[in-house]
Amino acid sequence: MSITHPAPAPAPGLQAWLTADVTTSPRQASLQRFYYGWRRLRGNPTAMIALGALAALVAVAALAPVIAPGGYDDQDLAARLLPPSLMHPFGTDDLGRDILARLAWGARITLMIATLVAVIVAPVGLLVGTTAGYFGGWVDAVLMRINDIFLSFPSLILALGFVAALGPGIRNAIIAIALTAWPPIARLARAETLTVRNADYIAAVRIQGGSALRIITRHIVPMCLPSVIVRITLNMAGIILTAAGLGFLGLGAQPPMPEWGSMLSAGRSHLTGAWWLSTVPGLAILATSLAFNLLGDGLRDVLDPRSE
């Protein structure tokens, strides 16, 4: 339970507007909530570290041409499998390419994967789950059966189908994987919805004339967000690794793309000899996943209406 502090001394301009006790418009109220949420997030050191790490990732991705002007496919058969050194901080791979360079260029692909996952999985899962949980009855039955079909459907077939239809490449593979990753989110959201749909405050909104859409989006979805966010951030690493595993089928990034997952897979046959081939991208994936997870936990704390 939180203890309300006395109002701080009035600050000038924007600050004052954002911290005013009495709001004069809905927009001001929402912006205030956003501002307070941001302040809460700022007070969470681990979340800030995570945010910093992710900002660094974005920076590396943007600055790849600066970090590695030679590109990611600068082969040199005479310099293959070199261990980390001053000239090659992360060593070279089995075609003599600098791994740091490939890591930097690969950051872009990692960000794309993360974005696609978040953009596809969360909305679809939340929508299906909350709708099913709220309406119950045959809506629930139909949606859950569709959910079950997507759950049971081997993502590999979908990925193969996408590739056959749209061509190979990492983007199509991720879309395919994401399309089979939303069902668990939906079930999670549905479980949460079932526990809150009969609550008093929901009934209150209904009496006031709130439509189902409004109830779902304004009141139920926020309750589901915390666990969904945690789940999705966990998903990121899992999906990167799944895509890496599909690489050998031609469903991941095509060579010579420096996608971290496929770099990891390619290093599999050198695990004991040239360990840096797999370990470096593996650590990068782990660090990214950790950052997303920490941020997710932080966001969760901020967004959870129950922890005001």
Partner 1 sequence: MARGILGAARQAGSVLVTLAGLLALTFFMGRMLPTDPVLAIIGQQADQAAYDMVHHQLGLDRPLPVQFALYVRAMLTGDFGDALFTGHRVAADLSRAFPATIELASLAILIGVGLGVPLGVLAAVYRGTLFDHATRVIGLVGYSSPTFWLGLMGLILFYSTLGWVGGPGRLDVGFIDSIEPHTGLLLVDALWDGDPDVFWNAVSHIVLPASILGYASMAYISRMTRSFMLEQLAQEYIVAARIKGMSRWAVIRRHAFRNILVQLVTVVALAYAFLLEGAVLTETVFAWPGFGRYLTAGLLAGDMNAVLACVLIVGVIFIGLNLLTDRLYRVLDPRTR
Partner 2 sequence: MSPRLPLAILLLLLQAPASRAATPRDALVMAWNLDALITLDPAQIGEVNGNDIILGNVCTPLVNYDPQDISRIVPAAAESWSTSADGLTLTFKLRGDLKFPDGRAATAGDAAWSMQRAVLLGYGNSANLTQWGFTKDRIAEQIRATDDRTVVVTMDKPYPASLILSAAFASNVAVILDREAATKGAKVVDGKSDLGNAAFKTGPVCVGPYRVTRWDANDVVVLERNDGFFGQKPNMRRIIIRHVPESSAERLLLEKGDIDVARLLTTDDLKALEANKDVRIEQTVVQGMSYIAINTVDPILSNAKVREAFRYLIDYDGLARSILPYQGTPRASLIPEGAFGALDRAAGQPFKLDLDRAKQLLTEAGYPNGFTKKLILSANSISPNIAQHVASNAAKVGVTLELEQMADANLFTRGRNREFELQLVAWYAGYPDADANTFRHAVNPDKRPEAKLTMYPVWRTGWQDLSINEQAAAARMEPDPAKRAAMYREIQEFMMHNGPFVYIYQNIRPIAVRSAVKGFVISPFFVDYGSASK
* Partner from partner 2, partner 1, none binding residue 152, C-beta < 5-8 Å depending on class: partner 1
Residue 130 in tokens: 């909350």
Taking each helix axis from N to C end, the angle separating 137-152 and 182-196, rounded to the nearest 10 degrees, works out to 150
Closest CB 134 distance from partner 1, rounded Å = 12
Give the separation between CA 285 and CA 261, rounded to whole angstroms: 8
Choose the one of partner 2, partner 1, none that binds residue 226, judging by a C-beta under 5 to 8 angstroms depending on kind: partner 1
Contacted entry of partner 2, partner 1, none for residue 49, CB cut-off 5 to 8 Å set by kind: none
144: contact with partner 1 by CB under 8 A: yes
Among the listed ranges 67-75, 117-125, 194-202, 212-220, the one in contact with partner 1 (CB under 8 A) is: 194-202
List all residues 6 or more positions away from 138 whose beta carbon is below 8 Å from its beta carbon: none
3-state class (DSSP) for residue 156: helix
User: Are residues 118 and 126 in contact, defined by beta-carbon separation less than 8 angstroms?
Assistant: no
Where do runs of H (alpha helix) occur along 197-256?
200-207, 212-214, 221-246
- Mask 202-241, x = binds partner 1 (CB under 8 A)? ------------------------xx--xx--x--xx--x
Give how many residues touch partner 1 by CB under 8 A. Answer: 58
Q: Comparing C-alpha atoms, which of 101, 108, 129 is closest to residue 197?
A: 129
Question: Where does this chain bind partner 2 (CB under 8 A)?
Answer: 73, 75, 77-78, 80, 94-95, 168, 247-250, 254-256, 266, 268-274
Tell which positions 243-272 bind partner 1, by CB under 8 A: 244-245, 249, 264-265, 268, 271-272
Which single residue is written with the structure tokens 């930097």?
104
Cα 217 to the center of its chain, rounded Å: 21
Dihedral sign from CA coordinates of 148, 149, 154, 156: negative
Query: Would you say 102 or 190 has its CB closer to partner 2?
Result: 102
Looking at residues 279 to 298 of the shown chain, list those that interact with partner 1 (rule: CB under 8 A).
Answer: 282, 285-286, 289-290, 293-294, 297
Q: Which residues contact 161 (CB under 8 A, 6 or more apart)?
A: 176
Cβ 89 to partner 2, closest distance in Å?
22
**Cβ atoms within 10 Å of 94's Cβ, excluding its own:** 16
To the nearest whole angstrom, how small is the minimum distance from the Cβ of residue 288 to partner 1?
A: 9
Least distance (Å) between residue 111 CB and partner 2: 23
Report the b/e string of 204-236 with b at 16+ CB within 10 A: eeeeeeeeeeebbeebbbebbbbbbbbbbbebb
Smaller CB separation from partner 1, 172 or 278: 278
Closest to 276 in 3D by CA, of 83, 5, 106: 83
Interface contacts to partner 1, rule CB under 8 A: 1, 46, 141, 144-145, 147-149, 151-154, 156-158, 160-161, 164, 184, 187-188, 191-192, 194-196, 198-199, 226-227, 230-231, 234, 237-238, 241, 244-245, 249, 264-265, 268, 271-272, 278, 282, 285-286, 289-290, 293-294, 297, 300-301, 304, 306-307
